[in-house]
Amino acid sequence: MINQDQFDNLLVEAENEINNGADAAVLYHKYLGRNGKFSTMIKQITTLKTDERKVVGEKAKIIKNRLNYLLQIKTSSNQPSIDLTLPADLTAHGHQHPIETSIARLYQISERLGFVAAQSPEIENEDNNFEFLQIAKDHPARDMQDTFWTVDGRVLRTHTTAFQQNLIKNNHPPFAFVQGGKIYRCEAEDATHLSEFHQFDGFAVAKNLTFADLRGVLFQLIQDFFLRPVELRFRPSFFPFVEPGAEIDMKCFSCTGRGCRSCGYKGWLELLGCGITDQEIIASAGLDPKEYHGLAFGLGVERFAMLYYGVEDIREFTRNDPRFLEQLV
C-alpha cells in the first residue's frame, strides 16, 4: 500500500542525486517523467480508501512541488552563459534615399487628390518630348533645355511632361495621371544644377476643369508635401503647352518674406510651373477644347527635397554618402 513515507523517501533519494551532480534533464525524466518514479507512485493512490487518499494526495502534491522546484534550480544553474550585448549578424543600418522618398510621398499625396500613377520611358522620341508639347525646333524655349541626344536620334527626356501625348491619345477623359522620374539636361553640374535629376508631373483632362481647380489642387499638394501651412503666390509665366501658364512661389520659411540668403533676398521661393493645357493638345486627341479642359503641372523633386530637408548643395543627392542619407527621413 502506498503511504506518505514512501513519498518522503522519494524526495530524499532525489535530493541526494541532485546534490551529487546528476544531469537535470535525466533526473527530470527519472522522477517526474511520464513513466518516472513519482508518476508510478501517484497511480497507486487510486487503490487507497477515500480519507487516506486525501492525506497521501496532499503529501504527494507537496513532494511534487518540491521536486519541481529543486530540478528547476538545478536546470538554471547548468545553463551556459550568454552575452546579450553581442552585435547582430544582419544589422539594420540602411536608409531610403530622400529623392525616392519625396517621389513616394508625392505619389501618395496626389493619389489622395485623385491622380493615378503612370509611367513613360526616359529615352523618348523627339515628338513626345518636344513637338507635341509645342516646343518646336528653334523655339526659344529649347534654349532652357539643353538636351542629350542618342546616336539614333532619340532624346533623354528633358521633362516628365513627355508623358502627355500617350496619355491623352490612349485614355478617354476624364483622367488624371501623375508621374515621378528621372530627367536629363546637358549642362555642367554645380551647387544648383545636375545633369540627371527628377521631376514630378501631373496631367488631368475632364469636362469643366478650371484654373481655380488648378490652384486648389496645387495648394493642397504643396501644403501636404511641406507638412505645414504655406503661403503661395501664383504668377504668370510661359510654357508652350499651357495657357494660362503660371509659376508658383512660396513665401520663404526662413524669413517669412522679408528676404534672406536662402530665398536670394526675394522673400519668395520659386516652386513649380503649371497651367491649363493648351487647346491644341486637347484638340489633337479629337476633343473639343471648349468642353474639355486640362490641368498640368511639373515640379523639380530635388528642389522640393532641398527646401523640405534644408539641403543647400544639390550634388549631395548624388554623392550617396551614408552620413548624408542617414539624416533624412
Partner 1 sequence: MKFVYQHLKIKADSPEKTADLLSSHTQEVERILPVGIKASGVITGQVISVKKHPNADRLNQLEVSIKEKILTILTSATVHENDKVAVATVGSSVITVNRQDINTQIDSRKMTTISRQTIRGITSEGMLCGEDELGLSESASHGVMILPPDTPLGLPLEKIFPVKQIIETDDKGTAHRSDLLSYRGIEQELAAILGQKINTEELESPKELRSPNIQASIEATDGCRLFLTALINLPSNKFSPKWLTEFLTDNQIKTINLATDITNYVMLTEGYPTHAFDASTITGNKVSVRYAAENETVQTLNHREYKLKKTDLVIADSEKPLDLAGIIGGEKTAISDQTKQILLTCALFDPIHIRRTSQSFGIRTEASARFERGLSTAAAINGFNKALRLILDLSDGQLIDLRITGDDKQDRVNIKTKTAEIRSLLGKNIDDQKIVTILKNLNFDIEIADGNLNIICPWWRQDVRDWQDIAEEVARIYGYEEIPRTLPSLLYDQTKEWSLKQDFQIVRKTAAEFLYEVQTSSMVSLGNKDAIRLANPIGDKKFMRQNLTDGLIQLTIKKYREGFNDFGCFEVGHIYVKDQPLKFAAALVAKQAQAKNLLGIIFHRLGLDYRLITFQTNDQTKTVINYKKTAVGEFKATWQAPIWIFSWELDMQLLNDQQKQNGRFKAYSRLPKIKRDLAIVLDKNIDYGTVVKMIEKQSSLISKISLFDEIDNYNGQNNFRSLAFHLEFSDEKRTLQNEEINVIIQNIEENLKNKLKAVIR
Touching partner 1, residues 147-166 (CB under 8 A): 148-152, 156
68 sits near partner 1 (criterion: CB under 8 A): no
The least distance separating partner 1 from the CB of residue 324, rounded to whole angstroms, comes to 10
Total residues at interface with Zn ion (CB under 5 A):
5
Instruction: Confirm if 299 and 105 have CB atoms less than 8 A apart.
Output: no
175-184 and 196-207 as β-strands: parallel, antiparallel, unpaired?
antiparallel
234 sits near partner 1 (criterion: CB under 8 A): yes
252's contact among Zn ion, partner 1, none, with CB below 5 to 8 A by partner kind, is: Zn ion
How many Å apart are CA 305 and CA 303, to the nearest integer? 5
Instruction: Determine whether 190 is exposed, middle or buried from the number of CB atoms within 10 Å of its CB (0-12, 13-18, 19+).
Output: exposed
- Tell me, residue by residue from 12 to 31, as one string, x for binding to partner 1 by CB under 8 A and - for no binding: --------------------
Instruction: Determine whether 117 is exposed, middle or buried from the number of CB atoms within 10 Å of its CB (0-12, 13-18, 19+).
Output: exposed
The least distance separating partner 1 from the CB of residue 269, rounded to whole angstroms, comes to 12
| Residue closer to partner 1, measured from CB, 219 or 226 | 219
Residues 262-291 that bind partner 1 (CB under 8 A): 265-266, 276, 278-279, 289-290
- Assigned C-alpha cell, 207: 469636362
How many Å apart are CA 121 and CA 129, to the nearest integer? 11
Which residues, 6+ apart, have CB-to-CB distance to 24 below 8 Å? 18, 71, 74, 75, 78
- Tell me, residue by residue from 90 to 129, as one string, x for binding to partner 1 by CB under 8 A and - for no binding: xxxxxxxx-xx---x--x-----xxxxxxx-xxx------
The least distance separating Zn ion from the CB of residue 222, rounded to whole angstroms, comes to 17
263's contact among Zn ion, partner 1, none, with CB below 5 to 8 A by partner kind, is: Zn ion
Which candidate, 105, 314, 124, 129, places its Cα nearest to that of 200? 105
Instruction: Determine whether 239 is exposed, middle or buried from the number of CB atoms within 10 Å of its CB (0-12, 13-18, 19+).
Output: buried
Exactly one of 78, 210, 254, 327 binds Zn ion (CB under 5 A); which one? 254
The least distance separating partner 1 from the CB of residue 306, rounded to whole angstroms, comes to 15
Reduced 3-state DSSP string for 293-324: EEEEEEEEHHHHHHHHHCCCCCCHHHHCCHHH
The least distance separating partner 1 from the CB of residue 130, rounded to whole angstroms, comes to 15
- Tell me, residue by residue from 191 to 230, as one string, x for binding to partner 1 by CB under 8 A and - for no binding: ----xx-------x-x-xxxxxx-xxx-xx----------
| Residue closer to Zn ion, measured from CB, 69 or 265 | 265
| Residue closer to partner 1, measured from CB, 83 or 89 | 89
